Amino acid sequence: MDYNLLIYANMNLLFQEAKVFKDLVLSDTSKGLVHVFFAQRATSKVPNVTDVGLKPRVVKKVAVIGGGLMGSGIATAIILSNIFVVLKEVNSEYLLQGIKRIEANVRGLVTRGKLTEDKANKALSMLKGVLDYSEFRDVDMVIEAVIESVPLKQKIFSEIEKACPPHCILATNTSSIDLNIVGAKTSSQDRIIGAHFFSPAHVMPLLEIVRTEKTSAQAILDLMAVGKSIKKVPVVVGNCTGFAVNRTFFPYTQGSHILANLGVDVFRIDMAISSFGLPIGPFMFTHLEGLCIDFVELCLSHGILFRLQDVAGYGLSALWLVVLGKNNGKGYYIHEKGSKPRPDPSVLPIIDECRRLTNIMPGGKPISVTDKEIVEMIFFPVVNEACRVLEEGVVVRASDLDIASVLGMSFPSYRGGIVFWADTVGAKHVYTSLKKWSEMYGNFYKPSRFLEERAMKGIPLSAPVSSSPTSKSRL
């Protein structure tokens, strides 16, 4: 055996491995994943909350109001961490339904081998259903999870303020409503906080903690501790319509509908977004989840979702209202047993009618775009809204928005989150693209002041907001 040749071959192999390793370490994928790793750990540091010498109080008993999909999911997550839960509903029928949902969630974990039978029984023993507030006298936290109705939420908060002990944290799971409005009829403003879970609440890892200007540091710290104990990643954000995550991603669905109304095939849009790294595209998501009419009305009333009012507001809402999703027996896709969903051709006339209503196709003809441009025309408006969120100080740091987009909106982790990805693409490219599209298709694409400033000065979007004279913090 020629040992010199063997040594040479091994050394050559080592050199090749070193080169491949170096290429991998320096790749955008590696940088994105490393960024997400550290971004998640940075969320535990919140100025004026975690650095002022406070310690989280022990939370032994939590009340959840509402046993629907969100409320039952929240209750499931809490009892699985051995915290006693009181589930309140308005009548026996709804209460029984809520308890059955929780039982199904827990038993489902047993079936999938993620929970033992003994632990499942222990978790379910931590649950008690009630129809009044008598059990609220010794709870440490209340999480309201009813429908997005301002009058109803205000009524509940005025009631629980009286029923709960003075130290009890009063939390709401609202996904969009201003907390100042929710707690307008209470005097306990320092205890009011947002505990925004993402559906399904017992599965999704993100907990968006929303604070107002009056929310106490102790309440925030306590909710952060509860979030960690139930295996969530708490991200503290400021109070505004939509908060950080939903507000940032409001343009996502609208951008996809604008593309559809510009003549781009909806199924191609879904494929492009899936190829980019999201689990499913925007139209498949609408198809599977259905449409929340209250959510659309809320966005419309605040002028956030439909920034393109003068061009496409009516037609885009018509497209949403006609195609209500799989659960209603209508949708973009056909589901047949044993095969993958396939496009439903019966939806095409509806899309054509919406295109006729919006009438935004240049010259009445579909635009020509690459898959890369499809991704950019959908996500650059999201980046633009993220810039507004950063400018207003809704998040502590840009990386908080990154981890929230990954854990809450399934933005691909290997791309590092929405702001990190935008910096990888380049703020200048995002700005010039949006400016061009705004001139062609309307104000929906108009670049924000923050984005323009950063692009012109060559400052990364993720740089501390203090470097921008336009910033005004909500935290």
Q: What is the DSSP string of 352-402?
A: HHHHHHH--SGGGS-----HHHHHHHHHHHHHHHHHHHHHTT-BSSHHHHH
pLDDT for position 328:
56
Once rounded to an integer, what is the mean pLDDT over residues 47-72?
A: 96
pLDDT at 351 over 90: no
| pLDDT, average across residues 245-271 | 94
17 pLDDT band (50/70/90 cuts)?
confident
- pLDDT tens for 181-211 read 999 999 999 999 999 999 899 999 999 999 9
Single out the residue of 212, 215, 98 nearest to residue 146, CA to CA. 98
Lowest mean pLDDT among 24-28, 153-157, 434-438: 24-28
- Residues 213 and 329 placed together within one structural domain of the fold: no
pLDDT tens digits, 131-142:
999 999 999 999
Would the pLDDT of 418 be above 60?
yes
Q: Are residues 387 and 315 in the same domain?
A: yes
Same domain, 288 and 346: yes
The answer to whether 347 touches 375, Cβ cutoff 8 Å, is no
Whole-number pLDDT of residue 2: 66
Residues 258 and 310 in one domain: yes
Same domain, yes or no, for 215 and 260?
A: no
370 and 420 belong to one structural domain: yes
Range of the structural domain that residue 176 is part of:
61-238
The partner residues of 141 in beta bridges, in order of sequence, read 62, 169
Do residues 300 and 250 touch, judged by C-beta distance below 8 A?
Answer: no
CB 323 within 8 A of CB 343: no
**Is 69 inside a domain boundary?**
yes
- Name, in order, each residue with C-beta under 8 angstroms of 449's C-beta and a sequence gap of 6 or more: 391, 470
Q: pLDDT confidence of 428, banded at 50, 70, 90?
A: very high
Q: Is 168 a member of any domain?
A: yes
pLDDT (tens digit, 9 = 90+) per residue, 147-187? 999 999 999 999 999 999 999 999 999 988 999 999 999 99
The domain that contains 86 carries what CATH number? 3.40.50.720
Let me know whether 130 and 212 are in one domain: yes
> Tokens 């507030």 map to which residue?
133
Nearest 5°: the CA angle 404, 30, 235 is: 15
Does position 458 have pLDDT exceeding 70, yes or no? yes
Which residues does residue 284 pair with via DSSP β-bridges, in sequence order? none
Statement: residue 321 has pLDDT above 50: no
Query: 449-457 and 371-391 helices cross at what angle (nearest 10)?
Result: 100
Q: What is the rounded average pLDDT for all residues in the chain?
A: 88
Domain identity same for 127 and 264:
no
Q: Is the same domain home to 210 and 355?
A: no
Kindly state the average pLDDT of the residues 406-429: 97
Number of domains in the chain: 3
- In this prediction, residue 70 carries a pLDDT of 96
Residue 53 forms part of a structural domain: no
Q: Report the pLDDT value the prediction gives residue 12, as an integer from 0 to 100.
A: 74
Q: pTM of the entire structure?
A: 0.88
Domain boundary among 193, 214, 238: 238
Question: Which pLDDT belongs to residue 320?
Answer: 45
Find the radius of gyration of the CA atoms of the chain.
Answer: 24
The tally of CA atoms less than 13 A away on the side-chain side of residue 369 is 23
Residue 295 — very low, low, confident or very high, per pLDDT cuts 50/70/90?
very low
pLDDT tier at 306 (50, 70, 90 boundaries)? very low
| Long-range contacts formed by 299-304: CB under 8 A, 24+ apart | 299/176, 299/242, 299/250, 302/241, 302/242, 304/241, 304/242, 304/247, 304/250
End of a domain among 238, 269, 300?
Answer: 238
47 is a domain residue: no
Domain annotation covers residue 169: yes
